[in-house]
Amino acid sequence: MNAPTSATEIRLAARPHGVPTQDTFDVVDTEVPTPGPGQLLVRNLVMSVDPAMRGRMNDSKSYVAPFVVGEAMEGGAVGEVVESTVDQFKPGDHVLHQLGWRTHAVVDANRAVKVDGSLAPLSTYLGVLGMPGLTAYAGLLVSAEFKEGDTVFVSGAAGAVGSLVGQLARLKGAKRVIGSAGSAEKVRYLTEELGFDAAFNYKDGPVAEQLAAAAPEGIDVYFDNVGGEHLEAAIASMNVHGRIAVCGMISQYNATEPTPAPRNLVQIIAKRITIRGLLVLDHWHLMKDFVAEFAPKVAAGEIKYSETVVDGIRNAPEAFLGLLSGANTGKMLVRISS
């Protein structure tokens, strides 16, 4: 296989104030670097865009370093090895790594994981069998301490993580699974295709009222992907000893001023609510168990997944902006090459 001579990458042009725009990104054509000892040259095939990338655009201390202005952004990707300087990887192997946002990447071999496209589509290693799937698995079963018979509410339920949380809760014996989404089409997807017991469009009216109607006996678990009004509504509907796993707060990611906390936090005391933040990085040790349980269910159609795919590396900014505005159902991906 001949090594390519040119590549394209997406760089952070400027840190956004509020909602990112196309001007936040630079699309740059560049030369492909040569892998050094212990490295691979990978031709990326598909990459992920994730809500957490919005936080990395800010110059603030967090659990992961911010993106650097003027440099290529990073994120999950699956690609084909073009050149290898190590014995354990050969040209033609497919690998999962964290140097997306570019057509070609020089990856340290110890930071690449071999994946098998004959067992599952390569895209699933970025979605249902990858980070979003593990987030759903660990978030529901560990962070939220799910128990059979729980009533579960999931916000952002048509997204990559939320859609899997609801299905897993149903398979594990939830009494009732409720989801919120941002369109009538997504609501139908949740109830008619994914098996949610109830779902509502948060744009149709106050979330607290819609949730109370969908869960007249209250909720025991809330999986939070949205924050804000959704979190306040969940606290209002929470039963005694309820548990909240906070995975994301996408409603606040573009805020330019501090956002107010839920106005009913005092209920945490009387209801003895547990609220726990969730980072998938804390749960990588569960990956083997997760894949062993999830993969057969995906293959059998017991767990369904959806992907929204944008074609072309130059359209990666468009895919990311669409993710922030809710344009996706399921996992948002960018197909870089076939």
Q: Tell me, yes or no, whether 166 and 266 share the same domain.
A: yes
pLDDT of res. 338: 72
- % of the chain with per-residue pLDDT over 70: 99
Residues 6+ apart with CB under 8 A from 54: 20, 253, 254, 324
Q: Tell me, yes or no, whether 143 and 200 share the same domain.
A: yes
pLDDT digits (tens, 9 = 90+) for 45-79: 999 999 999 999 999 888 899 999 999 999 999 99
Q: Tell me, yes or no, whether 158 and 270 share the same domain.
A: yes
C-alpha torsion angle, residues 5, 10, 13, 14 (rounded to 10): -150
What average pLDDT does the segment 136-164 reach?
A: 98
d(CA 303, CA 110): 31
Q: What is the pTM of this model?
A: 0.91
pLDDT of res. 235: 98
pLDDT of res. 3: 54
Q: What is the CATH number of the domain that holds 96?
A: 3.90.180.10
Q: Tell me, yes or no, whether 88 and 140 share the same domain.
A: no
Residue 156 lies in a domain: yes
Residue 297 lies in a domain: no
The pLDDT of residue 153 is above 50 = yes
Range of the domain at 202: 131-281
Q: Tell me, yes or no, whether 109 and 169 share the same domain.
A: no
pLDDT digits (tens, 9 = 90+) for 307-329: 999 999 999 999 999 999 999 99
Q: Mean pLDDT of all residues in the chain?
A: 95
Residue 34 lies in a domain: yes
Angle at 280 between CA 277 and CA 283, to 5 degrees: 105
The pLDDT of residue 4 is above 70 = no
pLDDT digits (tens, 9 = 90+) for 7-56: 999 999 999 999 999 999 999 999 998 999 999 999 999 999 999 999 99
Number of separate domains in the chain: 2
d(CA 178, CA 116): 34
pLDDT of res. 80: 97
Q: Tell me, yes or no, whether 185 and 67 share the same domain.
A: no
Q: Tell me, yes or no, whether 209 and 327 share the same domain.
A: no
Q: Tell me, yes or no, whether 120 and 140 share the same domain.
A: no
pLDDT of res. 188: 98
Residue 294 lies in a domain: no
Q: Tell me, yes or no, whether 31 and 97 share the same domain.
A: yes
pLDDT digits (tens, 9 = 90+) for 190-225: 999 999 999 999 999 999 999 999 999 999 999 999
Q: Tell me, yes or no, whether 115 and 69 share the same domain.
A: yes
- Considering only 57-66, 97-106, 203-212, 251-260, which range has the smallest mean pLDDT? 251-260
Residues 6+ apart with CB under 8 A from 306: 158, 163, 189, 329, 330, 331
pLDDT of res. 217: 98
Residue 53 lies in a domain: yes
Residue 295 lies in a domain: no
pLDDT of res. 1: 47
